[in-house]
Amino acid sequence: MKDIFKGGLVRLSAFDPAELAKAYTAWSRDSELQRLFNSGASALHSTKAGTDFFEEMVKEDATANHFFSIHKLEDNQLLGDINLNIINNWGSRDAFVGIGIGDRNDWGKGYGTDAMKIMLRYAFTELNLRRVTLSVFEYNPRAVRSYEKTGFQHEGRSRGALLRDGKRWDVIYMGILRDDWMEKNHD
Protein backbone atom coordinates (compact mmCIF):
# COMPACT_ATOMS: atom_id res chain seq x y z
CA MET A 1 0.00 0.00 0.00
CA LYS A 2 1.38 3.39 -1.05
CA ASP A 3 1.19 6.66 0.93
CA ILE A 4 -1.31 8.51 -1.24
CA PHE A 5 -0.16 11.92 0.03
CA LYS A 6 3.52 11.43 -0.84
CA GLY A 7 5.26 11.93 -4.16
CA GLY A 8 8.86 11.89 -5.31
CA LEU A 9 9.63 15.45 -4.17
CA VAL A 10 6.77 16.62 -1.96
CA ARG A 11 4.01 15.49 0.34
CA LEU A 12 0.60 16.94 0.95
CA SER A 13 -0.30 17.66 4.54
CA ALA A 14 -3.17 19.02 6.58
CA PHE A 15 -3.97 22.60 5.70
CA ASP A 16 -2.98 24.93 8.56
CA PRO A 17 -4.51 28.39 7.99
CA ALA A 18 -2.12 30.13 10.40
CA GLU A 19 0.99 28.51 8.86
CA LEU A 20 -0.11 29.31 5.34
CA ALA A 21 -1.16 32.88 6.19
CA LYS A 22 2.26 33.61 7.66
CA ALA A 23 3.97 32.27 4.53
CA TYR A 24 1.62 34.09 2.15
CA THR A 25 2.25 37.38 3.97
CA ALA A 26 5.90 37.05 2.99
CA TRP A 27 5.27 35.59 -0.47
CA SER A 28 2.70 38.26 -1.38
CA ARG A 29 5.40 40.91 -1.36
CA ASP A 30 6.27 39.44 -4.77
CA SER A 31 3.74 41.06 -7.10
CA GLU A 32 4.64 38.64 -9.92
CA LEU A 33 3.48 35.77 -7.71
CA GLN A 34 0.21 37.58 -7.01
CA ARG A 35 -0.34 38.02 -10.75
CA LEU A 36 0.18 34.29 -11.29
CA PHE A 37 -2.27 33.36 -8.53
CA ASN A 38 -5.26 35.50 -9.43
CA SER A 39 -6.69 38.00 -11.86
CA GLY A 40 -7.49 40.69 -9.30
CA ALA A 41 -5.37 43.68 -8.44
CA SER A 42 -2.30 42.92 -6.32
CA ALA A 43 -2.76 43.72 -2.64
CA LEU A 44 -0.87 43.22 0.60
CA HIS A 45 -2.51 41.62 3.64
CA SER A 46 -1.51 41.07 7.25
CA THR A 47 -0.95 37.61 8.69
CA LYS A 48 -4.14 37.97 10.75
CA ALA A 49 -6.20 38.90 7.68
CA GLY A 50 -4.69 35.93 5.83
CA THR A 51 -5.47 33.56 8.71
CA ASP A 52 -9.06 34.81 8.85
CA PHE A 53 -9.40 34.40 5.08
CA PHE A 54 -8.02 30.83 5.06
CA GLU A 55 -10.14 29.82 8.06
CA GLU A 56 -13.30 31.05 6.34
CA MET A 57 -12.32 29.36 3.10
CA VAL A 58 -11.88 26.00 4.84
CA LYS A 59 -15.26 26.31 6.59
CA GLU A 60 -17.16 26.72 3.31
CA ASP A 61 -18.80 23.39 2.42
CA ALA A 62 -16.10 21.24 4.01
CA THR A 63 -17.32 18.07 2.28
CA ALA A 64 -16.77 19.57 -1.17
CA ASN A 65 -13.46 21.35 -0.54
CA HIS A 66 -10.16 19.56 -0.01
CA PHE A 67 -7.29 21.83 1.03
CA PHE A 68 -3.69 20.72 1.53
CA SER A 69 -0.34 22.31 2.22
CA ILE A 70 2.61 21.29 0.06
CA HIS A 71 5.80 20.40 1.92
CA LYS A 72 9.20 19.46 0.53
CA LEU A 73 10.12 15.86 1.40
CA GLU A 74 13.77 16.75 1.89
CA ASP A 75 13.36 19.16 4.83
CA ASN A 76 9.59 19.61 5.39
CA GLN A 77 9.74 23.22 4.12
CA LEU A 78 6.33 24.71 3.29
CA LEU A 79 6.23 25.30 -0.47
CA GLY A 80 2.62 26.31 -1.07
CA ASP A 81 -0.87 24.89 -1.21
CA ILE A 82 -3.21 22.92 -3.44
CA ASN A 83 -6.97 22.55 -3.28
CA LEU A 84 -9.70 20.60 -4.94
CA ASN A 85 -13.24 22.01 -5.04
CA ILE A 86 -16.00 19.59 -5.96
CA ILE A 87 -18.50 21.17 -8.37
CA ASN A 88 -22.28 20.73 -7.97
CA ASN A 89 -22.17 18.90 -4.63
CA TRP A 90 -20.74 15.64 -5.98
CA GLY A 91 -23.51 15.07 -8.56
CA SER A 92 -21.25 15.46 -11.58
CA ARG A 93 -18.12 14.09 -9.85
CA ASP A 94 -16.22 17.03 -11.33
CA ALA A 95 -13.77 19.27 -9.50
CA PHE A 96 -11.70 22.40 -9.99
CA VAL A 97 -8.07 22.35 -8.80
CA GLY A 98 -5.89 25.27 -7.76
CA ILE A 99 -2.21 25.21 -6.84
CA GLY A 100 0.44 27.71 -5.80
CA ILE A 101 4.16 27.46 -5.03
CA GLY A 102 4.98 30.61 -3.09
CA ASP A 103 8.70 31.32 -3.22
CA ARG A 104 10.13 31.98 -6.68
CA ASN A 105 13.33 30.15 -5.60
CA ASP A 106 11.21 26.97 -5.60
CA TRP A 107 9.72 27.52 -9.06
CA GLY A 108 10.82 25.32 -11.95
CA LYS A 109 12.07 22.49 -9.73
CA GLY A 110 9.20 20.06 -10.26
CA TYR A 111 7.48 20.61 -6.91
CA GLY A 112 4.23 21.83 -8.44
CA THR A 113 4.14 19.00 -10.98
CA ASP A 114 4.73 16.44 -8.24
CA ALA A 115 2.04 17.98 -6.02
CA MET A 116 -0.44 17.95 -8.92
CA LYS A 117 0.30 14.27 -9.58
CA ILE A 118 -0.47 13.51 -5.94
CA MET A 119 -3.69 15.53 -6.06
CA LEU A 120 -4.86 13.78 -9.23
CA ARG A 121 -4.16 10.39 -7.64
CA TYR A 122 -6.23 11.48 -4.64
CA ALA A 123 -9.02 12.86 -6.86
CA PHE A 124 -9.35 9.79 -9.04
CA THR A 125 -8.55 6.93 -6.63
CA GLU A 126 -9.81 8.20 -3.27
CA LEU A 127 -12.66 10.51 -4.25
CA ASN A 128 -13.54 8.62 -7.44
CA LEU A 129 -13.99 11.83 -9.40
CA ARG A 130 -14.69 11.79 -13.12
CA ARG A 131 -12.96 15.01 -14.17
CA VAL A 132 -10.60 17.70 -12.84
CA THR A 133 -10.43 21.16 -14.42
CA LEU A 134 -8.23 24.22 -13.97
CA SER A 135 -7.63 27.63 -15.46
CA VAL A 136 -4.28 29.28 -16.08
CA PHE A 137 -3.25 32.65 -17.47
CA GLU A 138 -1.64 32.76 -20.91
CA TYR A 139 1.38 34.62 -19.51
CA ASN A 140 2.27 31.63 -17.30
CA PRO A 141 3.76 29.12 -19.79
CA ARG A 142 5.72 27.35 -17.02
CA ALA A 143 2.44 26.34 -15.35
CA VAL A 144 0.91 25.28 -18.67
CA ARG A 145 3.86 22.93 -19.30
CA SER A 146 3.58 21.53 -15.78
CA TYR A 147 -0.12 20.80 -16.24
CA GLU A 148 0.52 19.17 -19.60
CA LYS A 149 3.12 16.88 -17.95
CA THR A 150 0.48 15.63 -15.51
CA GLY A 151 -1.97 14.87 -18.32
CA PHE A 152 -4.16 17.96 -18.53
CA GLN A 153 -5.38 18.80 -22.03
CA HIS A 154 -6.27 22.20 -23.45
CA GLU A 155 -10.04 22.54 -23.61
CA GLY A 156 -10.65 26.19 -24.36
CA ARG A 157 -9.81 29.78 -23.64
CA SER A 158 -11.38 33.11 -22.92
CA ARG A 159 -9.62 35.38 -25.36
CA GLY A 160 -8.43 38.72 -24.02
CA ALA A 161 -10.14 38.13 -20.67
CA LEU A 162 -7.37 39.63 -18.55
CA LEU A 163 -5.72 43.05 -18.76
CA ARG A 164 -2.16 43.24 -17.44
CA ASP A 165 0.31 46.03 -18.12
CA GLY A 166 -1.76 47.44 -20.98
CA LYS A 167 -2.00 44.10 -22.80
CA ARG A 168 -4.87 41.64 -23.11
CA TRP A 169 -4.16 38.01 -22.17
CA ASP A 170 -6.20 34.83 -22.55
CA VAL A 171 -7.39 32.62 -19.72
CA ILE A 172 -6.71 29.01 -20.72
CA TYR A 173 -8.94 26.16 -19.52
CA MET A 174 -7.49 22.68 -19.14
CA GLY A 175 -8.95 19.41 -17.94
CA ILE A 176 -8.23 15.75 -17.34
CA LEU A 177 -10.67 12.84 -17.28
CA ARG A 178 -10.36 9.91 -14.89
CA ASP A 179 -10.24 7.42 -17.78
CA ASP A 180 -7.32 9.27 -19.39
CA TRP A 181 -5.50 9.48 -16.05
CA MET A 182 -6.08 5.76 -15.32
CA GLU A 183 -4.71 4.83 -18.73
CA LYS A 184 -1.39 6.56 -17.94
CA ASN A 185 -1.16 5.67 -14.22
CA HIS A 186 -1.31 2.00 -13.44
CA ASP A 187 -0.13 2.30 -9.83
Residue 95 belongs to domain spanning: 10-184
Q: Is residue 5 part of a domain?
A: no
Under DSSP, the state recorded for 166 is T
Q: How far apart are CA 157 and CA 41, in angstroms?
A: 21
Higher pLDDT, 88 or 110: 110
Q: Is residue 120 part of a domain?
A: yes
Q: How far apart are CA 108 and CA 24, in angstroms?
A: 19
| Bridging pattern class, strands 94-101 and 10-14 | unpaired
- pLDDT, residue 31, reads 73
**DSSP conformation letters of 16-83:** -HHHHHHHHHHHTT-HHHHHHH-SSPP----HHHHHHHHHHHHHTTTTTEEEEEEEETTT--EEEEEE
Phi, psi of 67 (to 5 degrees): -110, 135
- pLDDT, residue 25, reads 82
Q: The domain spanning residue 106 has which CATH number?
A: 3.40.630.30
- pLDDT, residue 13, reads 94
Question: In which band, very low, low, confident or very high, does the pLDDT at 47 lie, cut at 50, 70 and 90?
Answer: confident
> Is-contact 20 101, C-beta < 8 A?
no
Q: Is residue 167 part of a domain?
A: yes
Q: Is residue 4 part of a domain?
A: no
Tens digits of residue pLDDT in 109-163: 999 999 999 999 999 999 999 999 999 999 999 999 999 999 999 999 999 999 9
Q: Is residue 62 part of a domain?
A: yes
The SS3 of residue 95 is strand
